[in-house]
Structure 1
Amino acid sequence: MKKILVIEDEPEMRRNLLTILRLEKFEPSGAQNGRLGIELAKKEKPDLILCDVMMPELDGYGVLKALREDKSTASIPFIFLTAKGEKIDQRNGMNRGADDYLTKPVAKADLLGAISARLSRREEQIQREFKPNFDSSEPLLALGLAPREAEVLLWVTQGKSNGDIASILGISEWTVKKHLLHIFEKLGVESRNAATLRALEILSSSSADK
């Protein structure tokens, strides 16, 4: 389940976005201002960030700058969602390093389309960077995982959902979730994204050794 952080100071808008994302099987979290958004992003390492531009204390441009300057959050896909819809505003946002720029009010289909496109592009970038070998889960045992946990992580790393993994391995989704909790604990991470990166490092190393 992909984690998405919504940074939005308007309570109703934030609630609506979180509801849409939850119904679409994402794992959303919300922050009511830019400073809290930065804290959550660094703590949770979401798979994607939706951020308003005009906010008190620290605006969206400040949030993006801070996250891009931090190595741990620099590559997280970042989408501006704002009422500032002029072309010059869009160019400004993209020039600052945003991955996309959506204007409020945004249609649900456009929102989900942008999210899907950015998540897919990020997955492709990761695959190109690491060049992993997915032939076997055995290398993942080096992370201290049990054989079944290594199998689960191998499929997670390939972008499979809990339901997909349950079908592939012939187990229940509840069991998949239980394995994931153990995997996160053993790896010292809090999200699928962080676990995936650890796995890709190992799988890429095993590929290079061949």
Structure 2
Amino acid sequence: MSDQPLDIEALVKAYPLPEGVPDAVLNKTEVAEFFHVSEPTIAAWIRDGMPFVEEGTNGRSYKFMASQCWAWRQSKKAGEEQQRSEARAAIEAMRLKLIGGEVGDTIRALPPKERQQLYDVEAAHLKLCRERNQTLQREDVSEVMTEVLRLCRDGVNQLPDVLEREVNLGPKAVAVAIQHCDTVLEELYQTIERYFADRPIVTREERADLFN
């Protein structure tokens, strides 16, 4: 957590809520639903500095402003993206320096001999990574994740019935359990979909520059 005090007003102005989304006072459960994450994640964000309008104590829930939470989260994501971009730029600049290229060069900008050398190095590196089990085929990962999700789905879907049968859980509690299980499954699917969406398959010739 940063020692610098947050300028909440400036954050909200820089990162307003999406158009059509009204501001509102939310509790922790509602903030988790707002961001489609779990309550433990919200607890971690609070420790990391997410602003609140009223601190939770025994018998009293945390209270948050949707606009403040949204602005804080967008600011954090922007900062993380900037750090990744700066690190990537430094790595690319060093690699380009080693082969005499310039920032923004594409694979096709290299002479045929240098282009083939780059392909050969890349292929050798990938082969070594596969031999060490440091990389997996996208299809294999997708297959494993599909199977894991199937097991999670089956187990979660059976949980309310098990609770009702084994511990005589009442109808209202069963309904709550079903809703929570549905939320967990939806979060799992959304997380995996975002993961693959952020990592589209890109061919060598489509890459924006030599090492992107």
Please report the TM-score for the alignment, with normalisation by the length of structure 2: 0.24
Greater helix percent: which structure? 2
Q: With CA pairs under 8 Å and 6+ residues apart, which has the higher RCO, 1 or 2?
A: 2
